[in-house]
Amino acid sequence: MRKPILAGNWKMNKTPVEAVNFVLELEPFVAGFADVESIVCPPFVALPGVAAALKGSSLGVGAQNLHWAESGAYTGEVSAPMLKGWVDYVIIGHSERRQYFAETDESVNKKLKAALQHGLKPIVCVGEDLGQNEAGVTDAFVNAQVKAAFEGVSAEQARGVVVAYEPIWAIGTGKNATPEVANRVGGEVVRGAISELYGDDVAQEVRVQYGGSTNEKNIGELMAMPDIDGALVGGASLKAAVFAEMVRVTAEIY
């Protein structure tokens, strides 16, 4: 049985002080739901404060990005060894990074390998845009994204990776994939690609999140789907009461 995992992707929101105040408010709500893994992913500068505030708590911390090199002349970048100690998780290849910061399947693959090498747990994002969706190429595109991301990753390492299926047309738009569609792509396509690479045993262990306009109202029907093991939550994770309610609903379903 895969443990459900809800991760809040705060994106470029909240100052370090706001971030600490927020997690102090959120933590008591989610601490009681040990059967759900709950994670917040604040901006880099808020990570030390948030990690300190959550020391010993079951509420986990993740980063939103990393660089693949350990150190060097990469102005403005942050590496896995720098994140180690502050975070357990790291989001890799979010569609906004791919769209606005020219991330490619190749950079996503390098980042995934760097995260694994340094013991960070990756959340790798894949998903098609509206044009691809309408052209009916979602399955082929997502399959190729998953395979490119995992290139050179061992089966043992792959088991611990979380994959977030986030159709780009559903992110921040209020539109979401129906639970059936999310489940089909998450299962047949994402888990299917992992099965092609590593076999069904590994594919059954990898957790697949859905992301895109999830909230406290639709999380229940999504989490009821057999191949959806969690959510990568954007806007709805910025309100403590809303994110806490999503965790509560998830705990009730599992």
CB of 156 to ligand PGA, least distance (A): 27
Q: Per DSSP, what are the bridge partners of residue 125?
A: 164
CB of 212 to ligand PGA, least distance (A): 5
Coil vs helix vs strand at 115: helix
Annotated active-site residue 67? The verdict is: no
Nearer to ligand PGA, 208 or 236 (CB): 236
Q: Per DSSP, what are the bridge partners of residue 63?
A: 90
CA atoms within 13 A of residue 158's CA, in its CB half-sphere: 26
Binding ligand PGA by CB under 6 A: which of 109, 132, 143, 214?
Answer: 214
Binding ligand PGA by CB under 6 A: which of 8, 42, 93, 212?
Answer: 212
What mask of x and - would describe binding to ligand PGA in positions 217 to 236, judged by CB under 6 A?
Answer: ---------------xxxxx
CB of 219 to ligand PGA, least distance (A): 11
CA distance 171 to 178: 14
Annotated active-site residue 118? The verdict is: no
CA 205 remoteness from chain centre: 16
Candidate list 94, 103, 128, 216, residue with the active-site label = 94
Nearest alpha-carbon partner for 237 in 14, 44, 18, 40: 40
Residues 6+ apart with CB under 8 A from 187: 208, 226, 227
**CB-based burial of residue 85 (10 Å sphere; 0-12 exposed, 13-18 middle, 19+ buried)?**
exposed
Nearer to ligand PGA, 157 or 183 (CB): 183
CA distance 105 to 147: 9
Per CB under 6 A, which of residues 148..207 are in contact with ligand PGA? 166, 171-172
128 contributes a contact to ligand PGA by CB under 6 A: no
Nearer to ligand PGA, 30 or 233 (CB): 233
Name the closest residue to ligand PGA (Cβ): 234
CA distance 175 to 173: 5
9 contributes a contact to ligand PGA by CB under 6 A: yes
211 contributes a contact to ligand PGA by CB under 6 A: yes
CA distance 90 to 120: 7
CA distance 20 to 105: 33
CB of 232 to ligand PGA, least distance (A): 4
Nearer to ligand PGA, 9 or 65 (CB): 9
Nearer to ligand PGA, 98 or 184 (CB): 98
Candidate list 37, 96, 166, 216, residue with the active-site label = 166
Contact 149/124 with Cβ under 8 angstroms? Answer: yes
Binding site for ligand PGA (CB under 6 A): 9, 166, 171-172, 211-214, 232-236
Which residue numbers are catalytic?
Answer: 94, 166
